[in-house]
Copies of this chain bind each other. A is one copy, B any other.
Amino acid sequence: MIKVAIFGFGTVGSGVAEVLDVNRAEIMKRTGMDIEVKYILDLRDFPGHKFESKVVHDVDIILNDPEVAICCETMGGKTFAYDYTKRALAAGKSVCSSNKELVEAYGPELIELAKAHECSYLFEASEGGGIPIIRNINQCLTADKIESIMGILNGTTNYMLTKMDREGADYAEVLKEAQDMGYAEQNPAADVEGHDAGRKIAILASLACGKTVPYQSLYVEGITCITSMDFKYAAKLGMSIKLIGQCRIEGEQVFAMVSPCLIKNTHPLYMVNDVFNGVLVHGNMLGDALFYGAGAGKLPTASAVCADVIALAGSLGEHIPCKWAQEQAILAPHEAQKHTFFVRMKQTGRDEAVSLFGATEYIELEGQSEECAFVTAEMTEQDFAQRYAKLSGAISRIRMA
């Protein structure tokens, strides 16, 4: 029997306990392994709870128990989670984590530490809950050179944008609704300003190139400026608007960023709606492959943690390798990234649009006689920004995927 400890009995941690409990027989049947939760580390007590007897308050009880082979870090944060993870790995206990902040900040260091102690550090659940994207990159698409990744990586903003698209609702309105339903935090910045998606694409880009793509160096733009009017234009173009994290590897250079993008209704990511996430990976031999699943939620996220637990249980005493070096990747400057841009402007700016962008076709909305829009040719961010700054009638711009 393989004994597991859970660090943190919040939403994900309690989900992990539930999945391992409910599916214990099924896991045994499918993998031949009997896995049991021995300890749950939390500051709180849980009187009357089914797992009350497993709760401990002192991490040393877990770290000093040689029976515990695997720890699930579902605490979040970077202080205690970092400390406990390092101590568990140093004690030769494998760790799996749902904590994207920790993974993004210390992933390669923790992988190194695991390797030195002949155990492993896995973090499937740090990306979208229900998509086994990390295992797919590391273990399934191994014969390919991964050339690009493009994904809808944040469930909260995707829920909001889907609602804006379907109902013509405004940003403030859907944000409030998302908060009321518990999909968005009271302080929604991490989601709506794109930081969560930024951390996720940083992790994926790092795995794709094998070096570290630091989240802090990425250009990240959120959805706070997207309006219901933007969606009207999108509909007219047969498109929707999604928050897209993308990276592209060209030789030694990595291009990576997060921004809202207009996306055509024939694009595989177009149908990724509500709280679902989707990641499109392009391999040099495989071509496009898409992975789609629940972007968040207690049980899908817990299922991902538990799949890690099972992988760890099947590899006790050895290190599951993960190519992610601490060395920084060479990040292409944001200014050099190329896109086509959708630009809204006042009708009075048409002459300028012609001279600056060579715009010839304009999109107009019924009942909106004062403004129009056009789509640029592909150009660098720098080139675009310089011309756009001179467009006096400019209202807003969105990149096109």
Contact = CB atoms under 8 A, between A and B. Distances in A.
Interface in A273-306: 273, 278, 283-294, 297, 299-300, 302-306
Interface in A307-362: 307, 309-311, 321, 323
B307 A140 contact: yes
A144 B292 contact: no
A26 B209 CA distance: 10
Contact of A288 (B141, B273, B293): B293
A124 to B, nearest CB: 8
A144 to B, nearest CB: 6
A238 interface: no
B287 A299 contact: yes
A363 interface: no
A396 interface: no
Contacts of A132: 136, 140-141, 289
Contacts of A271: 266, 268, 270-271
**Central interface residue in A132, A144, A286, A302, by most chain B CB within 10 Å:** A286
Nearest to A287: B294
A91 interface: no
Contacts of A305: 143
Interface in A19-55: 19-20, 22-23, 26-27, 29-32
Nearest to A32: B321
B287 A290 contact: no
A307 B281 CA distance: 15
A292 B283 CA distance: 13
Given A23-B285, A285-B23, A141 B307 contact: yes
Number of chain copies forming the complex: 2
Contacts of A302: 143, 285
A364 to B, nearest CB: 27
A143 B27 contact: yes
Given A285-B299, A300-B285, A143 B310 contact: yes
Contact of A311 (B142, B278, B288, B290): B142
Contacts of A140: 132, 135-136, 140, 307
**Central interface residue in A141, A266, A273, A310, by most chain B CB within 10 Å:** A141
A139 interface: yes
Contact of A23 (B32, B284, B307, B310): B284
Nearest to A20: B143
A130 interface: yes
A215 to B, nearest CB: 22
A290 B280 CA distance: 11
Nearest to A30: B323
A131 interface: yes
A155 B120 CA distance: 39
A252 to B, nearest CB: 12
Contacts of A136: 132, 136, 140
Interface of A: 15, 19-20, 22-23, 26-27, 29-32, 130-132, 135-136, 139-145, 210, 266, 268, 270-271, 273, 278, 283-294, 297, 299-300, 302-307, 309-311, 321, 323
9 contacts: A23-B143, A135-B139, A139-B311, A142-B306, A278-B290, A286-B294, A286-B300, A288-B293, A291-B291
